[in-house]
């Protein structure tokens, strides 16, 4: 889906200025570190500059929170599943004033993949979601410790069945392979030792995690070459401090925020930041967003939008306030990313796996539902407002304005197709509004938009 010959977008046919280049970099940052922003927000960020914008994203505690209270139905511990929780989270992504906080919540949901079908409780999944939101930018040690003792995770990976009498190795293995060191960096003896260290935790009838000392293995254990009477906190400390953990997290974060193939020197640099910052996720991300490689052409086109990114960023970038947000979870499910129900403990594979004949058709239909290209009465975009904001004098200008809003660097082929559809005549506002629906639809399903 990645277009081969790249052509930079133009602003009303003029050569790009350094100020405009700054705005395109900030647009890229906002799409990857969050879910995209409307042009007015990007202009304000460009005025502040890239470093200041990065700091504002990363240090989001200084930004007033727009998180809305959870629906009362989520307080019912008897609830098995409905769309309520997914609808609530989708709404937070669309309206958030702290986009990186929500984006990291998505990241950790995939990293510590936990599914509601086995957990069997919306309230447990909601509390885990809040855990990611609260601890997701702090020390990795604190997050890892909290995740293991999280009731949803104890149920998901059978931690509540892990006792000194009958060790269960589900968590003990996955914490090494999927959550910290990565495949090939541990032995079976480490799996056994890890499992024993984490014994003794249970989910009480009130849904809270409790430690039961008589079920914990107090014998000596050797974990990753260190021997002692380790418990879960000791195991967390040993795992978080291991050199491979920083590299593993750096790789996962680069793949999530930047591109599928992280350069070795980038992984090394981010791993050093992890070590030198006392395992701070916040500082890894600050450094990641400052790296020149994050803004390279290869990075800009080396990341396929996940369903969440495709849907939420489209709504935010176009400023679509009339979208029925309750429909988003269903769309995401058809696109292959059902919130709170990843396919397995490994999470969603991502990359080109997001794109196949079925999901591309769903993307097409979602774009059509927004633009009203097929059924204009159902459109949630305001063509007149877009035309007015563009200050365009021709359809040619309007094509490149739409590309700018959506963060698309048009290939020669796509630019030609859009210009052919729009026509390059002088802008007739009455005719332009009708053409604009189709133009936005075509832009949303272009190869470039799937990776921008």
According to the model, what pLDDT value does residue 81 have? 52
Tokens at 297, concatenated:
């052409």
Place of tokens 């979870």: 329
| pLDDT at residue 73 tops 90 | no
Q: Mind listing the pLDDT tens digit for each residue in 221-231?
A: 999 999 999 99
Is there a single domain that holds both residue 167 and residue 215? yes
Domain count, the chain: 3
Q: Which residues pair with 423 in a beta bridge?
A: none
Q: Mind listing the pLDDT tens digit for each residue in 375-407?
A: 555 678 888 888 889 988 888 899 999 999 999
According to the model, what pLDDT value does residue 9 have? 40
| pLDDT at residue 424 tops 70 | no
Is there a single domain that holds both residue 331 and residue 372? yes
Q: Mind listing the pLDDT tens digit for each residue in 249-289?
A: 999 999 999 999 999 999 999 999 999 999 999 999 999 99
Is there a single domain that holds both residue 258 and residue 126? no
For residue 59, being part of any structural domain is answered with no
Helix (H) or strand (E) holding 449: helix 447-451
- Cβ 224 vs Cβ 258: under 8 Å: no
Distance of alpha carbon 290 from alpha carbon 295, whole angstroms: 9
User: Which of 199-208, 299-308, 432-441 is predicted least confidently?
Assistant: 432-441
According to the model, what pLDDT value does residue 395 have? 87
For residue 47, being part of any structural domain is answered with no
Is there a single domain that holds both residue 417 and residue 282? no
Is there a single domain that holds both residue 283 and residue 309? no
Of the candidates 305, 300, 304, 330, the residue with the CA atom closest to the CA atom of residue 316 = 305
More confidently predicted of 199 and 438? 199
Average pLDDT of the residues of the chain = 91
According to the model, what pLDDT value does residue 17 have? 47
Is there a single domain that holds both residue 271 and residue 394? no
- Cβ 200 vs Cβ 159: under 8 Å: no
Tokens at 207, concatenated:
């849904």
Is there a single domain that holds both residue 163 and residue 273? no
Residue 303 CA from chain centroid, whole number: 12
Is there a single domain that holds both residue 170 and residue 142? yes
Distance of alpha carbon 144 from alpha carbon 150, whole angstroms: 10
Confidence of residue 72 (pLDDT cuts 50, 70, 90): confident
Place of tokens 């980038």: 266
Q: Please say which residue of 241, 260, 279 terminates a domain.
A: 241
Is there a single domain that holds both residue 125 and residue 144? yes
Distance of alpha carbon 69 from alpha carbon 81, whole angstroms: 18
According to the model, what pLDDT value does residue 432 have? 73
Tokens at 390, concatenated:
């563009």
| 34 secondary structure, DSSP code | S
According to the model, what pLDDT value does residue 78 have? 56
For residue 159, being part of any structural domain is answered with yes
For residue 60, being part of any structural domain is answered with no
Confidence of residue 8 (pLDDT cuts 50, 70, 90): very low
| pLDDT at residue 13 tops 50 | no
According to the model, what pLDDT value does residue 10 have? 40
Is there a single domain that holds both residue 278 and residue 167? no
| pLDDT at residue 6 tops 50 | no
Tell the burial category of 404 from Cβ atoms under 10 Å away from its Cβ (0-12, 13-18, 19+). buried
| 7 secondary structure, DSSP code | -
Tell the burial category of 277 from Cβ atoms under 10 Å away from its Cβ (0-12, 13-18, 19+). middle
For residue 201, being part of any structural domain is answered with yes
Residue 272 CB contacts under 8 Å (≥ 6 apart), including other chains = 246
- Cβ 219 vs Cβ 196: under 8 Å: yes
- Cβ 48 vs Cβ 25: under 8 Å: no
- Cβ 177 vs Cβ 171: under 8 Å: no
Is there a single domain that holds both residue 213 and residue 248? no
- Phi, psi of 6, rounded to the nearest 5 degrees: -95, 145
Q: Which residues pair with 11 in a beta bridge?
A: 14
According to the model, what pLDDT value does residue 15 have? 36
Distance of alpha carbon 342 from alpha carbon 108, whole angstroms: 12
For residue 91, being part of any structural domain is answered with yes
Give me the mean pLDDT over the 77-89 stretch: 74
Beta-carbon count within 10 A of 268 CB:
13
Is there a single domain that holds both residue 24 and residue 130? no
More confidently predicted of 298 and 383? 298
| 3-state secondary structure (DSSP) of residue 221 | strand
According to the model, what pLDDT value does residue 340 have? 97
- Cβ 44 vs Cβ 283: under 8 Å: no
Tokens at 389, concatenated:
């904001």
- For residue 205, give Cα distances in angstroms to 109, 151, 165, 202: 25, 11, 22, 10
Residue 344's domain comprises: 18-42+303-451
According to the model, what pLDDT value does residue 434 have? 77
Confidence of residue 190 (pLDDT cuts 50, 70, 90): very high
Tell the burial category of 164 from Cβ atoms under 10 Å away from its Cβ (0-12, 13-18, 19+). middle
| pLDDT at residue 68 tops 80 | yes
Answering whether pTM is above 0.85, one says yes
According to the model, what pLDDT value does residue 75 have? 60
| pLDDT at residue 296 tops 70 | yes
| pLDDT at residue 295 tops 70 | yes
Distance of alpha carbon 271 from alpha carbon 251, whole angstroms: 9
For residue 63, being part of any structural domain is answered with no
- Cβ 282 vs Cβ 137: under 8 Å: yes
- Cβ 136 vs Cβ 68: under 8 Å: no
More confidently predicted of 446 and 19? 446
Counting every residue, how long is the chain?
452
For residue 335, being part of any structural domain is answered with yes
């Amino acid at each position: 889906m990645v277009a081969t010959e790249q052509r930079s977008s133009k602003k009303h046919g003029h050569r790009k200025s350094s100020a405009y280049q700054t705005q395109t970099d900030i647009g890229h940052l906002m799409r990857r570190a969050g879910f995209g922003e409307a042009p007015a927000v990007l202009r304000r960020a460009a005025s502040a500059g890239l470093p200041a914008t990065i700091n504002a994203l990363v240090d989001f505690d200084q930004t007033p929170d727009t998180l809305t209270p959870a629906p009362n139905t989520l307080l019912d511990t008897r609830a098995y599943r409905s769309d309520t929780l997914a609808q609530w989270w989708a709404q937070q992504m669309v309206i958030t004033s702290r986009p990186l906080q929500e984006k990291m919540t998505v990241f950790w949901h995939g990293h510590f993949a936990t599914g509601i079908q086995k957990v069997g409780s919306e309230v447990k999944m909601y509390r885990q979601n809040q855990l990611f939101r609260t601890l997701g930018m702090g020390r990795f040690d604190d997050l890892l410790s909290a995740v293991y003792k999280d009731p949803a995770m104890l149920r998901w990976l059978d931690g509540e069945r892990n006792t000194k009498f009958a060790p269960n190795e589900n968590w003990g293995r996955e914490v090494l392979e999927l959550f910290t060191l990565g495949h090939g960096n541990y032995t079976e003896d480490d799996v056994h030792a890890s499992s024993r260290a984490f014994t003794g935790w249970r989910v009480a009838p009130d849904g809270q995690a409790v430690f039961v000392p008589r079920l914990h293995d107090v014998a000596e254990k050797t974990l990753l070459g260190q021997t002692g009477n380790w418990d879960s906190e000791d195991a967390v400390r040993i795992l978080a401090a291991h050199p491979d953990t920083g590299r593993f997290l750096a790789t996962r974060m680069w793949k999530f925020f930047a591109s599928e193939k992280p350069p070795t020197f980038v992984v090394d640099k981010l791993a050093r930041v992890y070590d030198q910052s006392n395992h701070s996720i916040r500082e890894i991300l600050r450094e990641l967003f400052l790296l020149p490689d994050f803004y390279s052409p290869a990075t800009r086109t080396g990341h396929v939008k996940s369903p969440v990114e495709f849907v939420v960023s489209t709504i935010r970038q176009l400023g679509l306030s009339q979208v029925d947000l309750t429909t988003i979870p269903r769309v995401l499910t058809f696109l292959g990313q059902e919130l709170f129900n990843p396919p397995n403990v490994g999470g969603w594979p991502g990359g080109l796996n997001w794109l196949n004949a079925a999901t591309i058709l769903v993307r097409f239909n979602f774009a059509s539902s927004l633009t009203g290209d097929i059924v204009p009465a159902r459109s949630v975009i305001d063509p007149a407002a877009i035309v007015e904001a563009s200050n365009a004098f021709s359809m040619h200008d309007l094509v490149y304005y739409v590309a700018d809003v959506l963060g698309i660097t048009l290939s020669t082929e796509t630019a030609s197709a859009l210009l052919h559809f729009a026509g390059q005549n002088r802008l007739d506002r009455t005719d332009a509004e009708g053409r604009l629906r189709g133009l936005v639809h075509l832009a949303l399903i272009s190869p470039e938009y799937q990776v921008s």
